[in-house]
Amino acid sequence: MSHDHIVSPKLYLGVLAILLVGTALTVAAARVDLGGLNIVVAMSIAVVKASFVVLYFMHLKYSHRLNWVFGAAAMLWLALLIGLTSTDVIARLTE
Amino acid sequence: MSDQATTLAPQFEGLAQQKESAIFGMWVFLVTEVMFFGGMFAGYTAYRYRFHEAFTAGSDHLNLLLGGVNTAVLILSSFTMAMAVHSAQLNRRRALIVFLVLTMLLGSTFLGIKAVEYSHKFHEHLLPGPAFQFEGADPQHAQLFFSFYFAMTGFHALHMVIGVALLAIMTWFAWRGRFSAEYYNPIEVSGLYWHFVDIVWIFLFPLLYLVGHHG
């Protein structure tokens, strides 16, 4: 009857460990002065953490393709929203 | 058969299609949530770039320890939520209830710590408005940082309150025996919501708490 992919608790524990290590890494990386790269490192770690949550905790990895399309659409519009806003701000500051 | 009749809505061909529709509907809702929080993230990005010094000074007033502990608490709650869905899939009613209650407890712990942080900010006159006081070069734009801080963490906390209420209802349903390995869509969909709120915090924590913690 049920065609669900059942993720093993071991895999969930692995994801939990990755997320906790990622949080510790974020705090540690902020203590090193990398100048403008600090925000890049912090956001990269956050994106990796979020990807693990989406793929495994939210089951997107085993989910219908249509859900992938909508997830990708959200990321595209978010990138446009933040990206285009940023180009405006950066252009004004470098005038 | 009578069991299936109570869980299958008439517009669906079968339980599998009903489940796919429920999950898809939740993803569509979460896309709108990405846009809702996205506006605040875009505004924050623009002003942080423009007034970086003031945002750094403001961020230094946040409690990194409390913020870090809360991040761990929320991640742990996402794990217990995933385990609740896992228990539902295996038709383990008792484990489902235990994991739902654990998730609510962790969510409430997060909100409790958040309340302690807010009360510190009130006493330090860091709530934007007429009473705002800030020792620093640019208090006006430090106030802007705290406006973003309260708006973003406030809307996040509101989502947490709704999430805890949702899980309380799910616990009641689970207690009444409404779910089975064939039908647990409300648990799966509640889980999607809970994990989404966790992801928002995964970005809020470094953006708000770690602007200026160098060296």
A42 shares a domain with A7 = yes
Q: What's the pTM value of the predicted model, to 2 decimals?
A: 0.94
Q: Which residues in B71-210 belong to E strands, given as ranges? A: none
pLDDT of residue B213: 61
Nearest to A12 among B41, B83, B202 (CB): B83
A58 shares a domain with A17 = yes
Closest by CA to B200, choosing from B169, B163, B170, B146, is B163
A88 shares a domain with A54 = no
Q: Which residues of chain A have pLDDT under 50?
A: 1-2
Q: How confident is the model at residue B56 (pLDDT cuts 50, 70, 90)?
A: very high
Q: Any idea what DSSP says for residue B12?
A: S
Q: How confident is the model at residue B2 (pLDDT cuts 50, 70, 90)?
A: very low
A52 shares a domain with A9 = yes
Count of domains in chain B? 1
A80 shares a domain with A42 = no
Which chain B residue's Cα is nearest to A92? B50
pLDDT of residue A3: 56
A85 shares a domain with A59 = no
Q: What is the mean pLDDT of chain B?
A: 94
- Would the CA dihedral through A18, A52, B108, B93 be positive or negative? negative
Please report whether residue B178 resides in a domain.
Answer: yes
pLDDT of residue A87: 93
pLDDT at B214 over 70: no
Q: Please name the residues in contact with B16: beta carbons below 8 A apart, sequence gap of 6 or more.
A: A3
pLDDT of residue A90: 87
Copy the structure tokens of residue A81: 């929203």
Please report whether residue B215 resides in a domain.
Answer: no
Q: Any idea what DSSP says for residue B215?
A: -
Q: Which of A42-46, B65-69, B112-116, B135-139 has the lowest mean pLDDT?
A: B135-139
**DSSP codes joined into one string, A33-71:** --TTHHHHHHHHHHHHHHHHIIIIIT-GGGS-HHHHHHH
Count of domains in chain A? 2
pLDDT of residue B215: 46
Across the interface, whether the CB atoms of A42 and B199 are under 8 A apart is answered no
Please report whether residue B19 resides in a domain.
Answer: yes
Query: Please, which residues 32-91 of chain A have a Cβ atom closer than 8 Å to chain B?
Result: 32-33, 38, 42-43, 45-46, 49-50, 53-54, 56-59, 63-64, 66-67, 70-71, 73-75, 77-78, 81-82, 85-86, 88-90
A52 shares a domain with A14 = yes
Q: Which domain holds residue B17?
A: 13-209
Q: Any idea what DSSP says for residue B90?
A: T
pLDDT of residue A93: 77
Please report whether residue B48 resides in a domain.
Answer: yes
Cβ neighbourhood burial of B176 (10 Å; 0-12, 13-18, 19+) = exposed
**DSSP codes joined into one string, B22-45:** HHHHHHHHHHHHHHHHHHHHHHHH
Question: Which of A39, A58, A62 has the highest number of chain B CBs within 10 A, making it the mutation to test binding with B?
Answer: A58
Q: Which amino acid is at B143?
A: Q
pLDDT of residue B27: 96
Please report, for residues A2, A55, B16, B191, the alpha-carbon distance to residue A62 in angstroms, rounded to integers and kept in the order given: 14, 8, 14, 15
Please report, for residues B9, B75, B141, B204, the alpha-carbon distance to residue A76 in angstroms, rounded to integers and kept in the order given: 34, 26, 30, 20
Please report whether residue B3 resides in a domain.
Answer: no
Closest by CA to A43, choosing from B44, B154, B160, B77, is B44
A28 shares a domain with A5 = yes
Nearest to A53 among B72, B78, B182 (CB): B78
Q: Please name the residues in contact with B67: beta carbons below 8 A apart, sequence gap of 6 or more.
A: B117, B205, B208, B209
- Please provide the distance, in angstroms rounded to a whole number, between the alpha carbons at the two ends of chain B: 65
What CATH number does residue B164 fall under?
1.20.120.80
Across the interface, whether the CB atoms of A43 and B203 are under 8 A apart is answered yes
A43 shares a domain with A7 = yes
pLDDT of residue B118: 97
Q: Which domain holds residue A93?
A: 64-95
pLDDT of residue B122: 95
pLDDT at B45 over 50: yes
**Calpha distance A35→B160 (Å, rounded):** 34
CB A58 within 8 A of CB B14: no
CB contacts < 8 A (A, B)? 139
A41 shares a domain with A6 = yes
A78 shares a domain with A59 = no
Chain A neighbors of B205, CB-CB under 8 A: 23, 26
Across the interface, whether the CB atoms of B202 and A2 are under 8 A apart is answered no
Please report whether residue B193 resides in a domain.
Answer: yes
